Amino acid sequence: MSFKDHILSSFIALENEVDTSSYVHELRNQAIGEFEKLGVPQRKEEAYKYTSLKALFNKDYCLFPKKETAISYSDIKKYLVHQIDSYRVIFIDGIYSSHLSQTTHDKFDVCLMSSALSNPKYSNVIKEFYNKLAVKDGLVSLNTAFAKEGAYIHIGKNIIVEKPIEIVYFSTGNEAQLMTQPRNLVVVGENSQVQIIERHQSLNDNAVLTNSVSEIFAAKRALVDWYKIQNDRLSASLIDHTFAEQKDNSEVRIHTFSFGGKITRNNLNFYQRGEHCNSVLNGVTILEGKQHVDHSTLVHHTAPNCESFQEYKQIFDERAVGVFNGKVLVDKIAQKINAYQQNNNILISDTATINAKPQLEIFADDVRCSHGCTIGQLDEDAMFYMQARGIPKKEARALLMFAFANSVLETVKIPEIKTRITKLIAMKLGVEIGFDM
Amino acid sequence: MSKYTEEQLEKELKDKEYEYGFYTDIKSDKIPIGLSEEVIRIISAKKNEPQWMLDWRLESYRIFMQMEEPDWSNVKYDKPDLQSISYYSAPNSKPKYDSLDEVDPELLETFKKLGISLDEQKKLAGVAMDIVVDSVSVATTFKETLAEKGIIFCPISEAIQEHPELVKKYLGTVIPQKDNYYAALNSAVFSDGSFCYIPKGVKCPMELSTYFRINEGGTGQFERTLVIADEGSYVSYLEGCTAPSRDENQLHAACVELIALDDAEIKYSTVQNWYPGNSEGKGGVFNFVTKRGLCEKNSKISWTQVETGSAVTWKYPSCILKGDNSVGEFYSIAVTNNYQQADTGTKMIHLGKNTKSTIISKGISAGKSQNSYRGLVKVGSRATNARNFSQCDSLLMGNECGAHTFPYIENSNSTSKIEHEATTSKIGEDQIFYCNQRGIDTEKAIALIVNGFSKEVLNKLPMEFAVEAQKLLEISLEGSVG
């Protein structure tokens, strides 16, 4: 059975199981129709020119894993940013784990998508925001059709959420091949601020494919600070679609740290729909082996006087493949835009590959848009300088790489995350560097 | 130019025509409209081509028939109906006009601004002076001087007759017949073009130039240019184009192949100023060109282009840096105004060791035009120490135009260094103010700033071209102030 047939027949099974009277029911049926029409993106499509999903979609995935899986806190502790107090929304094989999570309905809602979709209390918010940003794309539609679970975060006006929210999806490997379709919705009201940490992690080496969709709505003067930590096993692949809509004076920052996974595709789409917005897209990628990361970004400026800032620092070793496909789109009315896009890459081995396509599409004249893209090596003179002073080659290399990635690390606002990322990088480079970054 | 010289020149040109006897005095020598195997056979027969050439054309035609017209570019246009084009038109000795007075005064004004001599004006406007005409190449000047050095510079149809071994060896090696839709079409129906061969160790003493012109309405232009620089040789080649006003869209699908053997250098400069359509976006030339050069060891190919004309431009002069230490360069200015659309750039394909490439692209868009840079820098895994620098700057004038950048960078070598940067901006109000304050009116000030913006590329043009190009920029942007 082809993947598509498998999906279509599974959808009927899902239909029998879920509530068919809800608002989302209609969306699901539309979405499955779109998926049937569009299918899984092929390489001949420009957006997937450098990333083939063929190897991912030829498996017979289990779409509905068994209900209960016992996982204790000690099994997952190391994957959480446990040094800090945080709200936690934890999912095991796509199913919410209440004993590992800590949610709240006090002042604001940090809870489950499944209850938000079915509880009439949330129906107004769902009707206003759910699936309003997601584009018509084969995989996004697939998610919309199957999405049942995920994080639902709704923050009203004038609230600064005092501790970060961690959203973590674990897969236990109880199924030989698992496909999950998490769906997150984050609505942040006027003058409110929130920090979010997102992670997808598999706990053993069975194949996992995650097709995730997140929608972010930032109202006037809202601030959203989102950290994506991707350091999964070679058996796990992630296709992430994140959409953000911004109103006047809002700021949305997304930081993507890609250190592992078989195929990771990050689609970040920003739509600025108000003046004086700021969008920040930062990323550090360090890959080796046969890993593949594809960053595909879009910043659509539809209003004047806004800014966007993208910075991606990437290092590739062995047979790793990196793709950067950045796009800045400036509409005719979006005058006085300041858009910046920077992509720096280092190739360590001759078998690693980087494909970059930084694009600008500009229809307004009074703008400042620039992009820069470089591919190079570590500076030999700097290496020599350090080696001449007794720093071993490995450490010297690591130091230079830290320096290379530092401009992005500096933008991390949660110190515990910075420490954790620094440690992850040190681990990857096989060094022990004790300094604080 | 004084009257005396003018007359003399006219006489001289007439003599020349006689001397080389390029064509007999026939009226418009068109073959039936449309594209078919029969038409290709007629073209080939008219040119008295050998069997291998006909076979090559027919093979191209078969390939072409299996291809589909591409639509990935960032331009919108009504696809030309290939069946309504006449694929061959020999020069017609009947002039379009009898004197300059009959010519469109707007056109003459343009010529005046460009500083084109009266004779050239007549020539370009199609007044009774048959020197540069349609698809059949013109008497090439200084033929003897070149012959002394062993340089072959002639129409490609002549080269097929007289130097079949060279044509056979190199034609289609850089741009294969199946390369793309328009290259396949060109391979099947090319009418004529230039052929140039520089022997080993020879530095060509003068700039070689050709003028192509689209003279007859409804005639597609399918030139084929082949330039071969043998080991250690050097040539600078100029290609300039102008076309008179015309109302219907005309298709131009040329192919240019450059081959630089070991230690050779080719410099290829283009000024393209075909009819861009009127200010409502009606008419204008479709310019769908395939240009590519192959570099062997230690060789260098340099493309310089100034694109101001055509309603739709779609071209990517490219370099395949096959030999070690070879160098590829691309300098481009693309100006679009009114409803013009341009999707242009380059491909630098690094295959050899220590290969270097430089890309400087300046896009200027005004009016309601769309200007795109699309480029590819590819470094193969064996291209050790490859080096690339790319810079794409766009200047926007007015808020109804667009500037786009689509650079593709593919690298699989750890010793290569690639840099790409792009900026988009507009002419600063303070810059204009500064000029105004010093008594330079706004239009002149813009010309000045645009010139400064494009200087890096203009400097790469041969002297006489640079002057013409500068004026062209001014004219192309006329009326875009505001």
Asked if A5 is an interface residue toward chain B (Cβ–Cβ < 8 A), one would say: no
Residues of A in contact with B396 (CB under 8 A): 362, 364-365, 367
pLDDT for the residue numbered A153 = 95
Higher pLDDT, B283 or A214: A214
Residues of chain A below pLDDT 70: 1, 19-21, 67-69, 433-437
pLDDT for the residue numbered A411 = 93
- The 3-state DSSP class for residue B240 equals strand
**Interface pTM (ipTM) of the complex?**
0.84
pLDDT for the residue numbered A23 = 82
Using CA atoms, how far apart are residues A63 and A9, in angstroms rounded to an integer? Answer: 11
Residues 184-223 of B with CB under 8 A from A: none
Residues 44-63 of A with CB under 8 A from B: 46, 50
> Which pLDDT band holds residue B58 (cuts at 50, 70, 90)?
very high
pLDDT for the residue numbered B12 = 46
Least confident of A305-314, B49-58, B98-107: B98-107
Q: Hey, are the CB atoms on B409 and A375 less than 8 Å from each other?
A: yes
* Residue A405 Cα distances to A256, A375, A422, A427, B412, angstroms: 12, 14, 10, 15, 21
**What are phi and psi for residue B86, nearest 5 degrees?**
-90, 130
pLDDT for the residue numbered B100 = 57
pLDDT for the residue numbered A46 = 87
Asked if A380 is an interface residue toward chain B (Cβ–Cβ < 8 A), one would say: no
A208 forms bridges with which residues in the sheet?
A178, A236
Q: Hey, are the CB atoms on B419 and A349 less than 8 Å from each other?
A: no
pLDDT for the residue numbered A135 = 86
Asked if A84 is an interface residue toward chain B (Cβ–Cβ < 8 A), one would say: no
Asked if B406 is an interface residue toward chain A (Cβ–Cβ < 8 A), one would say: yes
Using CA atoms, how far apart are residues B359 and B349, in angstroms rounded to an integer? Answer: 12
Asked if A378 is an interface residue toward chain B (Cβ–Cβ < 8 A), one would say: no
The mean of the pLDDT values for chain B is: 80
pTM for the structure as a whole: 0.85
pLDDT of B290 higher than 90: yes
Q: Hey, are the CB atoms on A375 and B416 less than 8 Å from each other?
A: yes
Nearest to A408 by CA among A395, A393, A425: A425
- Of residues B72, B406, B421, nearest to A370 (C-beta): B421
pLDDT of B103 higher than 70: no
Using CA atoms, how far apart are residues B143 and B153, in angstroms rounded to an integer? Answer: 7
* Highest-confidence segment of B80-84, B136-140, B332-336: B332-336
- The 3-state DSSP class for residue A300 equals strand
pLDDT for the residue numbered B15 = 43
Q: Which amino acid is at B470?
A: Q
CA angle A209, A215, A220 (to 5 degrees): 160
For residue B413, give the chain A residue with the closest CA.
Answer: A350
For residue B421, give the chain A residue with the closest CA.
Answer: A372
pLDDT for the residue numbered B108 = 61
What tens digit of pLDDT does each residue of B12-36 get? 444 433 333 233 333 445 567 788 8
pLDDT of B171 higher than 50: yes
Conformation bin of residue B298: beta by default, left when phi > 0, alpha when psi is -120 to 50? left
Using CA atoms, how far apart are residues B333 and B453, in angstroms rounded to an integer? Answer: 10
Query: What residues have CB less than 8 Å from A128, skipping those under 6 apart?
Result: none
Please say whether the beta carbons of B64 and B181 come within 8 A.
Answer: yes
**What are phi and psi for residue B389, nearest 5 degrees?**
-130, 125
DSSP A77: G
Using CA atoms, how far apart are residues B398 and B401, in angstroms rounded to an integer? Answer: 7
Torsion of CA A326, A329, A334, A340, to 10 degrees: 20
Nearest to B250 by CA among B303, B213, B287: B287
pLDDT for the residue numbered B442 = 87
H-assigned helices in A39-81: 73-76
What tens digit of pLDDT does each residue of B247-282 get? 456 788 889 999 999 999 999 998 887 778 777 877
Using CA atoms, how far apart are residues B200 and B231, in angstroms rounded to an integer? Answer: 5
pLDDT for the residue numbered B353 = 95
Using CA atoms, how far apart are residues B229 and B144, in angstroms rounded to an integer? Answer: 19
- Of residues B400, B403, B419, nearest to A362 (C-beta): B403
- Of residues B413, B418, B425, nearest to A374 (C-beta): B418
Please say whether the beta carbons of A147 and A211 come within 8 A.
Answer: no
Residue B375 C-alpha, separation from nearest chain A C-alpha, in angstroms: 10
Q: Hey, are the CB atoms on B402 and A363 less than 8 Å from each other?
A: yes
Residues of A in contact with B422 (CB under 8 A): 358, 360, 370-372
What tens digit of pLDDT does each residue of B420-446 get? 989 888 888 888 999 999 999 988 888
Residues of B in contact with A46 (CB under 8 A): 72
What tens digit of pLDDT does each residue of A375-407 get? 998 888 999 999 999 999 988 998 899 999 999
For residue B369, give the chain A residue with the closest CA.
Answer: A363
Asked if B415 is an interface residue toward chain A (Cβ–Cβ < 8 A), one would say: yes
Residues of A in contact with B414 (CB under 8 A): 347-350, 352, 377
> Which pLDDT band holds residue B466 (cuts at 50, 70, 90)?
confident
> Which pLDDT band holds residue B210 (cuts at 50, 70, 90)?
low
pLDDT for the residue numbered B344 = 93
Q: Hey, are the CB atoms on A348 and B418 less than 8 Å from each other?
A: no
User: Tokens in use for B357?
Assistant: 């490439």
Q: Hey, are the CB atoms on A365 and B408 less than 8 Å from each other?
A: no
What tens digit of pLDDT does each residue of B308-360 get? 888 899 899 999 999 999 999 999 999 998 899 999 999 999 999 999 999 99
What tens digit of pLDDT does each residue of B121-130 get? 544 444 333 3
**What are phi and psi for residue A144, nearest 5 degrees?**
-60, -40
Q: Which amino acid is at B85?
A: I
Residue B138 C-alpha, separation from nearest chain A C-alpha, in angstroms: 42
Higher pLDDT, B84 or A302: A302
Neighbours of A426 (CB within 10 A): 18
Mean of the pLDDT values across residues B196-205?
Answer: 92
Please say whether the beta carbons of A403 and A284 come within 8 A.
Answer: no
Higher pLDDT, A4 or B243: A4
Percent of chain B with pLDDT over 70: 76
pLDDT of B390 higher than 80: yes
pLDDT for the residue numbered B250 = 76
Neighbours of B152 (CB within 10 A): 19
For residue B38, give the H/E element and its range. helix B37-46
* Residue A386 Cα distances to A166, A423, A432, angstroms: 39, 22, 16
For residue A279, give the H/E element and its range. strand A278-287
Residues of B in contact with A288 (CB under 8 A): none
